[in-house]
Amino acid sequence: MFKTKEEFKYEFSKRIIETYGRTVEESHITEKFMILENMVRDYASVNWAMTKMSVQQHEQKQVHYFSMEFLMGRLLVNNMMNLGIYDIAKEGLADYGINIHELEELESDAGLGNGGLGRLAACFMDSLASLSYPAFGHTIRYTYGFFEQKIEDGYQVEVPDQWLRLGNAWEVRKPKHQCDVKFFGHVVWNGDKQKWEHVDAELVRAVPYDVPIVGADTKVTNTLRLWKSEPADDIPRNKDFRQYTQEVNDITQTLYPDDSTPAGKMLRLKQQYFFVAAGLNSIVRAHLRVYPDLHNFADKNVIQLNDTHPVLVIPELMRILIDDYEFEWDEAWDIVTHTCAYTNHTILAEALEKWPIEMMKNLLPRIYQIIEEIHRRFIGYVKIASNGDEQLLNRVMILRDGQVHMARLAIAGSFSVNGVAALHTDILKNREMQDFDRIFPGKFNNKTNGVTHRRWLAYCNPQLADLLHEAIGDSWIKHPDDLEKLKKFADDSIIRSKFLNVKYQRKEDLARYIKEHNGIEVDVNSIFDIQVKRLHAYKRQLLNIMHVIYLYQRMKEDPSFRIYPHTYIFGAKAAPSYYFAKKVIKLINAVADVVNNDPVTNQYLKVVFIENYGVTIAEHIIPAADVSEQISTAGKEASGTSNMKFMMNGAVTLGTLDGANVEIAERVGDENCVIFGMKVEDINKLKADNSYHAWDYYNNDFRIKKVVDSLTDGTFASSREEFKLIFDELMSHNDEYYLLADFDSYVKAQEKINELYKDRDNWAKMCIMNIAMSGYFSSDRTIEDYVKDIWHLERVANK
């Protein structure tokens, strides 16, 4: 493989000629791009093969991260950087007159996820490889990733994400690892063999596509295995072939963008079982290539279940052990419950998965039978532990009211259950899952989320990375805690002004993007106040835009009231059928139209909605932020991870005491963040006393009244009906997420930001302190915590 620029150039031109029969100069830009990708993949392949061999030879334990989502983003730059070949490639290409950035722009995001949960999985894969731990990711190879968002007339329009259009150079199809997955049919008792058999099943072929996960500054290269559905050889006789192939293709066609409706439930259950069954089949076969049997399965494999989506791993592994390898129930259960660990990512009741028993029985008859038996035994166990407390039994039953409760199955079948931030775990243990914490003392634990500081600082913000190198060296890349060395420069006026300069450059870059994509001219000297995340009522983008409306109204009314110039920037995708969320997007755009075009206010206030928020766009947006909006209703955001990315890039958190904000605030101290709003206890009290009345806030605070009235008085829409849904959510449904209750406190927090920002020098200090304290939020730390407490892995030997 190439080690120098000259070798790179030779290899590049040779491949272009061999593949396309043209010279570098004659080749098309997409050809150059694809050759570069292929070269990087082949470069990684050597380490990839070595890693697999080493793990086998040393009989190492591996973690298998099962997740319906991996929001990988682009891989080209990340892989070149991690391999340490970026500069060679960049300079080699420059010699041919090729700007590497132009090639980078041709790569599609692998957007195989909805938001935080999927991006977390991607960060974990990067940290695992970079820390040299053996790991496998399992997921679905969706033909279409998370939809592409277009904004038309202020409304969100969804367009399919055809991410595989130019092919995917990173994946390698591995038919040798394929298997068939069984759906439908029924279960019969085979008296001769003394076991249950699943007969008349419909088969679907699962074919894996492996993607190398390149660690940084290590030879370790792990695997992300993407499963694709295809017709099996043995096709169903009772079904038309076209219908069969259609149904087969549907399984891995689309990622569910909809975390809000029950639509397509059956298909989603099919997706879940499909990748779980295929993934487990490949793990078991790999195990048996190295060891004589499955008795040591739990010693060599740990399976982390990313939320309840892959929880069918529990009954499926039971099925494999009992039906295919003749284990007794107790022995099998012992293996399963020493192999599986479950991460919970939300306490929102509506997000906790349940499947209708009838559906499960029909689609997965043998799996359902096993779940029934798990349920029966679990009830027996709880009865003994509960001293006949019937109520308790009802609260924890896996099968209840015609449904399978997946989180309960997950807790029963896992040796570890973790939350994703201290507050979240606390709420799980002491409230939402209190019964389970009592039944299984010690099973619950916390693993505060993290993000890879390589992608989210070193690579996406080279200007800041350079400044850090200059100030504190580069040990922080290997040891993110070393960012703390920056603390002693927080008072250094040169570093402060250099930091402000970096921030300015990044704001200029984002301002250019906004000009190009939105046609809006923004003031680079204004405060860039940014909220980017999925659109959901609990995240309260509405509170943010209501505050903007308030500022606008006040400045219009009172010429003596002027704010420090602000640019409020939003980015958010709404689930296609989530009408409220879509209305909030329309409202943000409608407010932007009015405010940005009003000459009285527009040198003070601008609003920008950036279309199609995703990983790559985030890499441009986050480094440009002055203020990071993290304003969810306390108790609702399990962790949040953009809060960590913003912090790393030197933005000040404006947030509630929710999720990981609590830990951010703890680390940076009150003087380096702005916290506002009700705390979890305050909200619990309001709920317990039933004492929250949105109308009281409306009637008693003229600012609130004015803002709320503007939703239906035609200020922001020609039709008074346009935002009626939002009005109703606040006023008729008693403001479920307490926006009005937090409004005053939010206004004050925003005023505080204004004041703090005016003192540029101190502001720089605050930002520097945030960067300095952000090492804890590297996913390297999170992974080390998982390794120590849950996975118990050793590093790969040939790292």
What are the residues binding ligand 26V (CB under 6 A)? 115-117, 120, 259-260, 307, 345-346, 348, 350-351, 420, 449, 536, 637-641, 659
Q: Please give the Cα distance from 511 to 520 (Å, whole number).
A: 9
CA 324 to centroid of chain Cα atoms: 35
Q: Please give the Cα distance from 165 to 646 (Å, whole number).
A: 32
- C-beta of 107 vs 658, nearer to ligand 26V: 658
Are the beta carbons of 437 and 385 closer than 8 angstroms?
no
DSSP label at 162? -
Min. distance of Cβ 351 from ligand 26V in angstroms?
A: 3
Q: Please give the Cα distance from 508 to 527 (Å, whole number).
A: 12
Are the beta carbons of 546 and 743 closer than 8 angstroms?
yes
- C-beta of 420 vs 530, nearer to ligand 26V: 420
- C-beta of 304 vs 641, nearer to ligand 26V: 641
β-bridge mates for residue 202, sequence order: 183
DSSP label at 458? I
- C-beta of 185 vs 677, nearer to ligand 26V: 677
Min. distance of Cβ 111 from ligand 26V in angstroms?
A: 15
Min. distance of Cβ 425 from ligand 26V in angstroms?
A: 11
- C-beta of 350 vs 689, nearer to ligand 26V: 350
Min. distance of Cβ 122 from ligand 26V in angstroms?
A: 11
Which residues have CB under 8 Å from 704's CB, separation 6+? Answer: 697, 698, 740, 743
Which residues have CB under 8 Å from 787's CB, separation 6+? Answer: 131, 133, 793
Q: Please give the Cα distance from 617 to 119 (Å, whole number).
A: 14
Are the beta carbons of 404 and 398 closer than 8 angstroms?
yes
Helix (H, G, I), strand (E, B) or coil at 385: helix
Are the beta carbons of 365 and 186 closer than 8 angstroms?
yes
Min. distance of Cβ 260 from ligand 26V in angstroms?
A: 4
Are the beta carbons of 64 and 303 closer than 8 angstroms?
yes
- C-beta of 100 vs 638, nearer to ligand 26V: 638
β-bridge mates for residue 64, sequence order: 136, 303
Torsion of the alpha carbons at 321, 324, 327 and 328, rounded to the nearest 10 = 100
Min. distance of Cβ 350 from ligand 26V in angstroms?
A: 5
Helix and strand numbers (H, E) in the chain are: 33, 25
Min. distance of Cβ 659 from ligand 26V in angstroms?
A: 5
Q: Please give the Cα distance from 483 to 488 (Å, whole number).
A: 11
Which residues are identified as catalytic? 345, 533-534, 539, 641, 645
Helix (H, G, I), strand (E, B) or coil at 435: helix
- C-beta of 107 vs 637, nearer to ligand 26V: 637
- C-beta of 259 vs 481, nearer to ligand 26V: 259
**3-state SS track over 197-211:** EEECCEEEEEEEEEE
Task: Tell me the residue nearest to ligand 26V as measured from the CB.
Answer: 116
Are the beta carbons of 487 and 772 closer than 8 angstroms?
yes
Min. distance of Cβ 795 from ligand 26V in angstroms?
A: 25
Are the beta carbons of 497 and 762 closer than 8 angstroms?
no
Are the beta carbons of 626 and 651 closer than 8 angstroms?
yes
Min. distance of Cβ 519 from ligand 26V in angstroms?
A: 33
Are the beta carbons of 55 and 791 closer than 8 angstroms?
no
Q: Please give the Cα distance from 548 to 558 (Å, whole number).
A: 15
- C-beta of 365 vs 659, nearer to ligand 26V: 659
Q: Please give the Cα distance from 629 to 539 (Å, whole number).
A: 10
